[in-house]
Structure 1
């Protein structure tokens, strides 16, 4: 009897913890959507859960360019099963398709990849990967969509999606994993 009462109290506590967060998500969804501006490209290849090869078909000499999705960190490909799952999800979302790249601030990283938010049919792909639990949002990213990405990560964490699954969580962030496996 005591266990049932304790269980019910835990369920109520969880409900009242999750309810304000879900209300905030709904209110955020009511905000007017910004129309992103950028360059339209075709995705030629998905390399990882955060890196693409694209072609700007509007240019006469269509060179392949590498793009790194801003504001997220995908699990390393050696972090199984999460690295492969993130890459496959990104392929499913935008592989071989036309997308919009929206840049912010510095446009290249140390590996000369273009840094961008990726949009497909009004959907911020970076955010979609986060909300489904395929990628991680690093702390203090300080970018245009920081709040959206942070809210998406909190949702995925509370719902136990992907890397946040309590039965098989990703124990190291991608940065920590790479540091330990150099």
Structure 2
């Protein structure tokens, strides 16, 4: 599938189920006891009662609504696969980063609510970590995009948090998880540990 096809259905590019992707991924991990392959996650979303409720049925309903409004079914389905695939890759990137930073001695905590509500992927003490891929449409650097930054969402928190970000350049290879390099991870570990 081409990126242009996957991102050409506006209602799906910006689509989020009411039950945040991160919650669905965490439920799937708990259900199967491991980080799922894409095929396992797809099976969960299509056939597990919780997966159907949180992602399978809402995604099908969105496709049905768009088809009823005149979007070709193949196009709506391709765009939804692209959207869910990107969310899945994002989840794998977060898990990989968490594991790699813990291997470097950083005892990060995670919770799906901090991700869904505050855009914080992990934290240690009063230091919040966000992981993102630069994209001007959504969020890049200090520039605003459609995604809110945790520094904005948590600006009034007392005591104040310190914010750290690992920002990757846009992925260039289709079908591969885009993860931080060892250099990104070493630098982040040094910042998070204060060394």
Q: TM-score, normalised by structure 2?
A: 0.27
Higher strand share: 1
Higher helix share: 2
